[in-house]
Chains A and B, each alone.
Chain A
């Protein structure tokens, strides 16, 4: 990290004065890449916002404040906030255990962390259903078709984000500072709170932002698990899909625009934080 820090910092400091360094070949490459990126991502996302605004402010407002939709949005946001809070605590604990603890089978945990990211979301729903969604569940817990299932599915799919952001930062942390704090008489808890935690905060926040954004848009893992019952276990994505299926693209685009604004806000926060992390080098 220390060796790359100057290289990273220099462009940042001089950026305003830097002219474009595109050659003819790289300019062409940029052009083609931007064309594909626009066709695939930018124009379609603009189409969502434009379609939402076609009906005017009142239609947009009516679409997102429809009683069933509002209850779905509230459930989605509540569950996303709660799950993100759990991830902040448990994710940091897991990252800590992975970096600082040593015990047989730790390598398996490394793989387990990534399973929710790599598993197809529909399979994730099926997986959770096998333990938490049947009357003959080995644990005697059945959350299928209830509001709790939304929390459970969000917990599963957002598991890796905080862990994977915090882990590398924790690995690079200088142990000498902690030892100095300890030798000056600080207890373990004080060392953690005053020395370790401050340097983890940007990474934890970035992980939290990613996990929040992921939860807000989650759909696949809920299909089989939550039953999509109106006012109970229906989330915002499901409302968008039913609007599409009812051939009401304006309403679908309105709810989608709301979700897009939430993701956009999250991205901005994330970008600012990552800039701060890399500036610290």
Chain B
């Protein structure tokens, strides 16, 4: 509707000026630099990408990144959906405060997040760390720490997508299902979940993209042990600083293409959901 009436109006010079400003700004800041990374990666054909998969340390780093991202996404999916249901469908004291606190991870520096986890779970002088290590469970400088840091940074993304949709669909259908004898579990799987499924999918895709790329928080908690706690993003830094620029570009390209695929998937899903 909006598009129709704007096109009916005449376009003044201001329209073109604004369009040029937007396009040039985005081209200089995003499109051109990203394109250069792609061309640099393929400057000497596929050798740098192939070299990546032949290096066992790199394969280990990519595997660790994938495992950490999948664990963090699974945790945030369950946590996010149940938290959204609680925030929208129930009343309890302190709800407003909790809802604001859930947004905290988006505006806290990744380095602060890493520091916070080390102070509590660090094996040496952390609040819970020494006890946990006494039970044989190492968090910091190990995979659980990387998963926690990753889950921390991407915590609110599912909630932010699901809460508005839950509000919008209302409770009428759920009440109808209940009055027809469905229990809470059946109502959730048959009525609520289908209603919010696109929001859940967007949330998961965004969480996955964010998790794959986490760098600062992981750098603090991982210790960067070759082949054990080195993730793909840490390897980009290390390769670049060791003058292996081709290797750095190859991993960067790999990570960038995953995240770009993620955004394109979200955009396609979103426009399809809008049409229905």
Chain A residues in the interface with B (C-beta under 8 A)? 4, 7-8, 11, 15, 18-23, 25-26, 29-30, 33-34, 36-37, 40-45, 47-48, 51, 90, 93-94, 96-103, 107, 109-116, 118-123, 126-128, 130-132, 138, 155-156, 159, 171, 175, 179, 188, 210, 213-214, 216-220, 223-224, 236-238, 240-241, 244, 249, 252-253, 256, 259-260, 263-264, 266-268, 270-271
B residues 1-54 near A (Cβ < 8 Å) are 2-3, 5-7, 12, 14-15, 18-19, 21-23, 25-26, 28-34, 36-37, 40
Pairs across A and B, CB under 8 Å, 15 listed = A26-B89, A40-B151, A90-B22, A93-B18, A99-B2, A100-B2, A115-B263, A118-B263, A120-B213, A122-B233, A122-B237, A155-B29, A213-B106, A241-B216, A259-B108
In the complex, given contacts A30-B86, A237-B112, what are 10 additional A-B residue pairs having Cβ atoms less than 8 angstroms apart? A34-B98, A93-B22, A99-B2, A109-B23, A110-B267, A217-B107, A219-B109, A220-B216, A249-B115, A267-B107
A51 to chain B: closest residue by CB: B119
Residue contact B26 to A112, C-beta cutoff 8 Å: yes
What is the distance, in angstroms, from B139's C-beta to the closest C-beta of chain A? Answer: 11
B210 to chain A: closest residue by CB: A118
Residue contact B152 to A41, C-beta cutoff 8 Å: yes
B80 to chain A: closest residue by CB: A33
Main secondary structure of the interface of B (DSSP, over half): helix
Residue contact A218 to B109, C-beta cutoff 8 Å: yes
Q: Does B259 contact A (CB under 8 A)?
A: yes
Main secondary structure of the interface of A (DSSP, over half): helix
What is the distance, in angstroms, from A114's C-beta to the closest C-beta of chain B? Answer: 5
Query: For A271, what are the chain B residues with a Cβ–Cβ distance below 8 Å?
Result: 99-100, 103
Query: For A45, what are the chain B residues with a Cβ–Cβ distance below 8 Å?
Result: 104, 108, 116
Residue contact B79 to A33, C-beta cutoff 8 Å: yes
Query: For B209, what are the chain A residues with a Cβ–Cβ distance below 8 Å?
Result: 118
Residue contact A21 to B90, C-beta cutoff 8 Å: yes
- What are the 5 closest A-B residue pairs judged by CB atoms, nearest first? A217-B109, A120-B213, A213-B107, A44-B116, A118-B259
Question: Which one of A33, A42, A241, A259 lies within 8 Å of B220 (CB-CB)?
Answer: A241
Chain B residues in the interface with A (C-beta under 8 A)? 2-3, 5-7, 12, 14-15, 18-19, 21-23, 25-26, 28-34, 36-37, 40, 75, 79, 82-83, 85-86, 89-93, 98-121, 125, 127, 148, 151-152, 155, 167-168, 170, 184, 206, 209-210, 212-216, 219-220, 233, 236-237, 240-241, 248-249, 252, 255-256, 259-260, 262-264, 266-267
Question: Which one of B6, B108, B120 lies within 8 Å of A43 (CB-CB)?
Answer: B120
Question: Which one of B19, B29, B83 lies within 8 Å of A159 (CB-CB)?
Answer: B29
What is the distance, in angstroms, from A170's C-beta to the closest C-beta of chain B? Answer: 9
Residue contact B215 to A220, C-beta cutoff 8 Å: yes
Query: For B23, what are the chain A residues with a Cβ–Cβ distance below 8 Å?
Result: 97, 109
Q: A20 vs B95: C-alpha distance in the bound complex, in angstroms?
A: 10
Residue contact B103 to A121, C-beta cutoff 8 Å: no
Q: A118 vs B258: C-alpha distance in the bound complex, in angstroms?
A: 9
Q: A119 vs B233: C-alpha distance in the bound complex, in angstroms?
A: 11
Query: For A237, what are the chain B residues with a Cβ–Cβ distance below 8 Å?
Result: 109-112, 216
